[in-house]
Amino acid sequence: MIDEILHIINKFGHITYGEDITQLEHALQCGQLAREDGASDALIAAALLHDIGQFLDDAGNAAEQRGVDARHEITGAAFLARAFPEAVTEPVRLHVDAKRYLCAVRPGYREGLSKASELSLRLQGGPMTPEEVAAFRNEPHFAAAVRLRHYDDMGKQRDWQVLALETYRPLLAGLTRPYPQGL
């Protein structure tokens, strides 16, 4: 599973999806931000892997080129659930909702989004309603999802030297569980 994940990221990592940096740089910057923030291993892994759904079923091109929301956070979380616990998969699943949440509750947050994030926000339903905000706050992994969202937003910097993908292998291996019987 770890080999498969690293292979997928390396294979599609050169893609940009409308941002200034590649998806590999974005993933590594998010992982680095989580490390520097003292996040748990699970949240570091979530930060590193949060966009992996973009590489599955060509979801990443959907928003930019076809104007549809392919729900990459759902496909990504489901894929990661084959090997990782909820402390990894839930922040991944919720990272788009966390953006919609922050747009609703944090003044000025929306204005700071990248162009691509603003475009996808509209496809994702825009800022949360008060009811959605209340429900989101009840999610067990709510706080981790919001932290991940901040890494996501900050992890779009040009010319930042960060740790290489391979350095995350032991951390990822430490979080994985064996495949269930029959898979």
Binding site for Fe ion (CB under 5 A): 51, 152
Question: Which residues, including other chains, have CB under 8 Å from residue 54's CB and lie 6 or more apart?
Answer: 12, 15, 17, 23, 60, 72, 76
Residue among 31 and 142 whose Cβ is closer to Fe ion: 31
* Rounded to 5°, angle at Cα 5 from 55 and 179: 120
Q: Of the candidates 14, 50, 15, which has an alpha carbon nearest to the alpha carbon of residue 30? A: 50
Residue whose C-beta lies closest to Fe ion: 152
Residue 57, CA distances (Å) to 60, 104, 125, 148 in order: 8, 30, 21, 23
Nearer to Fe ion, 25 or 139 (CB): 25
Instruction: Specify the residue, 53 or 134, whose C-beta has the smaller distance to Fe ion.
Output: 53
Say if CB 9 and CB 55 are below 8 A apart: yes
Smaller CB separation from Fe ion, 46 or 128: 46
CB of 155: closest distance to Fe ion in angstroms?
Answer: 7
Least Cβ distance, residue 100 to Fe ion (angstroms) = 14
Residues 6 or more apart in contact with residue 170 via CB below 8 angstroms? none
Nearer to Fe ion, 125 or 170 (CB): 125
Question: Closest separation between CB of residue 32 and Fe ion, Å?
Answer: 13
Outline where DSSP puts E strands in 12-117.
Answer: none
User: At its nearest, how many Å lie between Fe ion and the CB of residue 153?
Assistant: 8
Nearer to Fe ion, 9 or 182 (CB): 9
Smallest gap from residue 152 Cβ to Fe ion (A): 4
Minimum CB–partner distance for residue 27 and Fe ion (Å): 8
